[in-house]
Amino acid sequence: MKQLNWLGLLVALSLPQAQAANQEIRALFQPDSAKPNKNAFVNKTPNSGYCATYPAECAGYGMFSIRLPVRFTSSRYVSTFDWVGAKAPAGWRRLTVTNPDTQATETVEVRISGMGSRYVLSDAATRLAGGSTSLEGHRRLWTTDSWVHGIPAPCRYSGVGAYGAEDFRYFWKTPTEGFCFKIPTAHISWMYFDTLDFAYELRTPNPLGMSSGRYTGSMVYTLGPGGDFDMGPLMQPNDSNLTLDFVLDVQHTLKVDIPPGGNRVVLEPQGGWQRWLDSGRKPVRLYRDQIFHISASSAFTMKFECEHGVGWGTGCAIVNDAGYAGLVEVSVSLPDGLTNSAGQPVKRQLLERSTKTTFQPSRYVDRRPGTLHFEVSEQQTGWMIEKSTDRPYSGNITVIWDSEVG
């Protein structure tokens, strides 16, 4: 028997380009025997920024965050007639990822679910807006309270903020796309946002329908006034674009275990030979059911090859030393969770020599039992017994499981 083992799926990003920020997003699919029904990618991109600083605030919402060294600086003073804030590309956007080895494509969806930074002021908040403490100064500086408590719609509170005399770090959830603006109550000579923090969500394809390998693709966002990431008409970024480069790396498994001695198949009539010898009748058929255990997380094919060719039927010949031959048909039954190309359960499905038959998992199957059925029909059984002359029939049949479906 030939056994092939396969590994899985990741999502990665590209190297930085001039005048643009780049970030890698990684996702991995590896079948997990402890969670066979979990057929999803796992985000492997390390958190930075908000979720790295406050992991508990993100864990409950399934949020991931990234901090990039993109700085937004005011092009002039910020007056009480100006506004600053945040607009993120919160709607779902689609991109195509491609396996360069097979040219197979899949669709990934991504949305920005949160956005934040740390604003730095030209002077202490208390000197700009008054107040006895830094927190009071930051609250007085804006018409709608601080950047943690006075969150403008459509943005929402994220849980935690941090501040100093001249700076305030915040992070807002962005459930829908729209500008969330703050208006100062006092003149600010200059200000800047020192980083771009964002949270993201992914919708990834079903990995069970993908072949093993690496799939790559990119999503480009614009930065600055009127762009995808916008912090206000006065706030100019030091990068004009942000590119997210995705690499989906699927690590599938295909493994078949044959019990010890299972490579030797002895064909017998039902109940054994003695029963038929005692009755004086010819057996109706010869057969053997051979159990195997299979682990599979992606489509695979099965076929068999014969030591002795035959000019009819779909099976293999077994021959005796007198030159007579009989035909052995091969079929397979697979465990629940594996279906044929029509999506039906696999029960005694006939295989054909040198012709691939495709099977597909609906979930990860981990070391579940299947059966190979070897059978000689009644007509062939009668012929073989008549021509046996006490000479046994033999021949090799090689069954091949292959994760290369194409």
The reported pLDDT for the residue numbered 154 is: 96
Name the E strands within 91-155.
Answer: 93-98, 105-121
**Gap between the Cα atoms of 372 and 212, Å rounded:** 26
Q: Name the helix (H) or strand (E) containing 286.
A: strand 286-296
The reported pLDDT for the residue numbered 239 is: 93
Q: Could you count the other beta carbons within 10 Å of the beta carbon of residue 238?
A: 14
Name 107's Cβ contacts closer than 8 Å, sequence gap at least 6.
Answer: 94, 95, 96, 97, 205
Domains of the chain: 20-250 (no CATH), 254-402 (2.60.40)
**Gap between the Cα atoms of 21 and 218, Å rounded:** 13
The reported pLDDT for the residue numbered 406 is: 63
For the record, the structure tokens of 10 come out as 């990741």
Residue with the two structure tokens 């916008």: 230
The reported pLDDT for the residue numbered 210 is: 87
pTM of the model: 0.77
Secondary structure (H, E, C), 2-32: ECCCCCEECCCCCCCCCCEEEEEEEEEECCC
Residue with the two structure tokens 């010819």: 282
What is the DSSP code (8-state) at residue 209?
G
**Would you place residue 16 in the very low, low, confident or very high pLDDT band (cuts 50, 70, 90)?**
very low
User: Is residue 37 predicted with pLDDT exceeding 80?
Assistant: no
The reported pLDDT for the residue numbered 369 is: 97
Residue with the two structure tokens 């020599």: 353
Nearest residue to 251 (alpha-carbon basis) of 212, 204, 301: 212
Between 322 and 89, the higher pLDDT residue? 89
Residue with the two structure tokens 């459509």: 154
Between 5 and 32, the higher pLDDT residue? 32
Residue-wise burial string across 296-316, b where 16 or more C-beta atoms lie within 10 A, e elsewhere: bbbbbbbbbebeeebeeebbb
**Gap between the Cα atoms of 279 and 339, Å rounded:** 41
pLDDT in tens, 223-279: 999 999 999 999 999 999 999 999 999 999 999 999 998 899 999 998 888 877 767
Residue with the two structure tokens 């942000």: 242
Between 4 and 193, the higher pLDDT residue? 193
Q: Say if CB 95 and CB 218 are below 8 A apart.
A: yes
The reported pLDDT for the residue numbered 386 is: 85
